[in-house]
Amino acid sequence: MIEKKIIIGTRGSQLALVQSRWVQQALQQACPDLHTELLTIQTQGDIILDTALSKIGDKGLFTREIENALLTRRIDLAVHSLKDLPTVSPSGLRIAAIPPRQDPADVLLSKNHLPLIRLPAAAVVLTSSLRRRAQLLHHRPDLQVLDIRGNVTTRIRKWQEGPAHALVMAAAGLNRIQMQNHITERLDPMQFLPACGQGALALQIRQDDTDLAALLQKLDDPAARAAVTAERTLLAALQGGCQIPIGAHARLENGKLSLKAMIADVCGVCYITAEDTGAIDQPEDLGKRLADQLIEQGAQKILDEIKNQ
């Protein structure tokens, strides 16, 4: 029997709260008698805002404290942006549902509404991601790519008030908080590959909470789960994180699961891509196979060089 009150753990940013309130409403629609409550939890990534993400470490930077709250039973359900969640769950926890995925693409916000290809020579572009940095420099080696930290609204404000020409962010975040009007250009996810799991939410619970798991199945989207499983399996196989520029985009095409991925050095000079298809019900096999293809094409050298820096 499910408890009548479910405490949902979330980060306190505007985006995190919008995401968690959506889950809260969906749960209450699925089970009208259920009472839910949000508990905001500050993570290390929310506290350390003056250092690039790649220099802090990437194991649960935005999720560890929330997962600890699950394990200690302060909360019953955690709502994460899936791209923030390490590929290995702590013992005792599991991802119970992946709701329908938002747009996985990155987007460009630019002054004078110029697309990426038309930005001025040596234009300054802001990003919080080495993956985005590498791809920006791969497509436009002349750009000056600078780091920016903060939540969605903070990054937009810093960009608007500063001298930088453009800012690259995830489409999903802007869509969810109704700030699409700032978007200049949607970057084609087949050409500018997103983070693994970008645009998807992960609903995480304790392993033994079978009643809540059954309820959350009503929120699970099999297509989204298959796509992000392929992407995250590839990421795990490459032992990647925010310190290594890795991107992937999985989608359902003609009854098959297609996956394209990239890995690059931080300057975007050495840039390797691979693409393959597989069965929808075997996303792990596809992710592992594509990771092997990247290794065969030279990805191991990139991984070794970055890890030895």
Ranges assigned E (strand) in the chain: 5-10, 35-40, 77-81, 93-97, 106-110, 124-127, 144-147, 166-170, 185-187, 201-206, 246-253, 256-264, 271-278
Instruction: Answer for the pair 176, 19: CB distance below 8 angstroms, yes or no.
Output: yes
Q: Which amino acid is at 208?
A: D
Give the DSSP letter of residue 304: H
| Neighbouring residues of 18: CB distance < 8 A, sequence distance ≥ 6 | 176, 177
What is the number of alpha carbons within 13 Å of residue 109 lying toward its C-beta? 22
Token code pair at residue 301? 């050298």
Q: Which amino acid is at 75?
A: I
Q: Which positions are annotated as active-site residues?
A: 84
Instruction: Answer for the pair 289, 276: CB distance below 8 angstroms, yes or no.
Output: yes
Sheet holding 124-127, edge to edge: 144-147, 124-127, 166-170, 106-110, 185-187
Task: Indicate the SS3 state at residue 175.
Answer: helix
Token code pair at residue 133? 């940095």
d(CA 145, CA 168): 10
